[in-house]
Structures are given as structure tokens and as C-alpha cells.
Structure 1
């Protein structure tokens, strides 16, 4: 007996077969979106240590500094000039305001009070929400 004759005997392509086909096709169309979703919610935007606790503890020293100067005295930089993501100086290094050369041998510690994220590309990601 051929498959076509069996289909004719059981009334062909009915409601059950159409429902199964729709369920299978719907899941196949949605699945790529789930794979792409991870590209957006799991992105880690550029970030650096939060230096707000340093500003509060040394308020009189940080009062007249610009944001860039505060970052200069608080965070070590990578070779490309961007602040390191997970390190900060053990103590503010005010001598770096006049001479930014010898930065590699200064004592550093891991971030003490979290991170500050650049939200220009992504407003909210898993990395920025779970600290």
C-alpha cells in the first residue's frame, strides 16, 4: 500500500495535520529570535570602577577637579588610554595631574564599590543589572 492511498483512506490532510504543521512552523520562526536576543541582553558595555566613594571620602580634594581629572587620579589606564575596567588606585594619585608618565608601578586594588557603565549603546543589559 502506498502512502498516498493511506492518506485518501483516512480523509487526507485534515485539521489535526494542519494544527501540527502550524505549531511546528511557529516555533521554527520564533527560535532565531531567541538566539539573537543573547547578543543584546548579554552585552558588556564599556565600564570602569565607581569612584563616588573616593569623592565622598576626599571631598575637599576632589571639589575643584573635573570629571576627567577625577578619573585620572583614581583609575589606571590601559595601553589605548581607556580606564581599566576592574582596577582602581589604592589611593588617589594627584601627581598624575602634572605628569601622566610612570603609571604602571602604582599600587592598584579591585573595584571597591561597583562599576559605572557607558549607557550610550545599551540602556540596560544583564551585566549592568546584576552587579
Structure 2
């Protein structure tokens, strides 16, 4: 059995439909992993895509911080965060803190569909070396 990764899924309001569309396209791959999402995004992924998701609070109500806590605890191996660079967010400090923690924890961060596609299709996501059939040492 392949190792399961913890994947956090976060999307600003203007990017939620992109996240749903992307998750629908990658449903099979995502369903093999532990998924965490902020409130509304998680609800849409459950209702519209049929994924099993651990739903946390909405981003502005502490959800970004809860995702950050999961990163700090080692439960999240990948952050997929579709954020809107053109719209100011009332919880911008939380967003910056989440991204900073992901970088400091050396976990991959995908901020758009193109990057998310590269990361989710990587053999490294499952802990397998792309050049062999053996597990990569931890």
C-alpha cells in the first residue's frame, strides 16, 4: 500500500470554483490521501466532489491558523492554496503566517492549478522515487 500524504486545500472566495474544478479532475488521486480544508472550501469539496475531508474553520475565523497548526504538527505534507493576489483579504496576516510556516517547514505549496497539477502528479507525493520502484528513505 502506498503511503498516504496529508494534503491541505484552501481557496479564497474568488478561487473556490477553480479549487472544486481542480479537485474534481484529480478526485481519484486526492481520495487516496488525508485531506484537510478550511470551512467553505471543505464543504464544497464534500458536497460537489464527494471527497472525504476534515473540515476546519473558515479562513477568517481561524481556519488558516488551524491548517498552520496541522503543518507544525507534521500532519500536512502539501499545501494547495488557491489565493487571490488581486484582492485584499481581511485575514491577510493569517494568510502570510500560513505561507511562512509552510516554507519554514519545507512542504510544497501550490498556489495555482498549473503548480498543483505538477505536484499532485509527482511520484514523490506517494514517497516513491520516480526512477525506481523502491520507497525513498525518510
Q: Could you state the TM-score of these two structures normalised by the residue count of structure 2?
A: 0.24
Larger RCO of the pair (alpha carbons < 8 Å, separation 6+): 1
Q: Which has the higher strand share?
A: 2
Larger Rg: 1
Q: Could you state the TM-score of these two structures normalised by the residue count of structure 1?
A: 0.24
